[in-house]
Amino acid sequence: MSDLPGPEGRANLPRVAIRPFAPDDAEEFTARARESVELHRPWLFPPRTAEEYAAYTRNLDEDPARIGFLVTEPRSGGQIAGFININNIVRGGFLSGALGYGAFAHAAGRGVMSEALELVCRQAFGPLGLHRLEANIQPLNTASLALVRRAGFRLEGFSPAMLFIDGAWRDHERWALTTEMRFRPQAPS
């Protein structure tokens, strides 16, 4: 399988693939989201019903400033392991997008999301033509912080009361990765 993005936003590595959301994924995605509530709270609230999933994917399809990827595991028959979205895509002089993501409980802690984020970065900095990806993360979300650190993102700042999540304004750390950071030449060892 190729590790380069295909014509429909698909890409593969040996253990992980990304692809667009599809209506047929509703049952598996929502079941995985319901199984993962304990893992996701209080950080994340993915759709847990067919109606919520339909609205969520409709917004991804209709909003040109968003693109979503399901994370799947080809060796397990394409089982959905998580998702990564690029939101708030801005073109022009900014060429930036903000990441949103989540692993499902059965896949958490196995490196699946690290590989999937690598594929999404290839998509973002390649065919999508972005210059910068941002990840805004609540300071106590240690798994999410570890994910962006492994991917080479750098901490750029702290934003108090940045996003309204689960009934309150939450502080966030701002992490970013740019094309210069990603593709800088490595010094010989």
- What CA–CA distance (Å, rounded) separates 60 from 66? 6
- What CA–CA distance (Å, rounded) separates 102 from 80? 11
| 117-166 per-position pLDDT tens digit | 999 999 999 999 999 999 999 999 999 999 999 999 999 999 999 999 98
Can you give the length of the chain in residues? 189
Share of the chain above pLDDT 90, in %: 83
Structure tokens at 90: 């801005």
Q: Looking at the predicted structure, is the pLDDT value of residue 6 above 70?
A: no
Q: Looking at the predicted structure, is the pLDDT value of residue 1 above 90?
A: no
Q: Is 46 left (phi over 0), alpha (psi -120 to 50) or beta?
A: beta
Average pLDDT estimate for 98-126: 95
pLDDT of res. 182: 81
- Residue identified by tokens 């940045």 is 162
> Model pTM?
0.90
- What CA–CA distance (Å, rounded) separates 125 from 118? 11
Of the listed ranges 33-47, 123-137, 173-187, the one predicted with least confidence: 173-187
What ranges in the chain are assigned the alpha helix state H?
Answer: 26-35, 37-40, 50-62, 112-125, 142-150, 179-183
* Of 101, 87, 92, 89, the residue nearest 18 (C-alpha): 101
DSSP string across 37-85: HHHHTTT-----SHHHHHHHHHHHHH-TT-EEEEEEEGGGTSEEEEEEE
Report DSSP state, residue 126: T
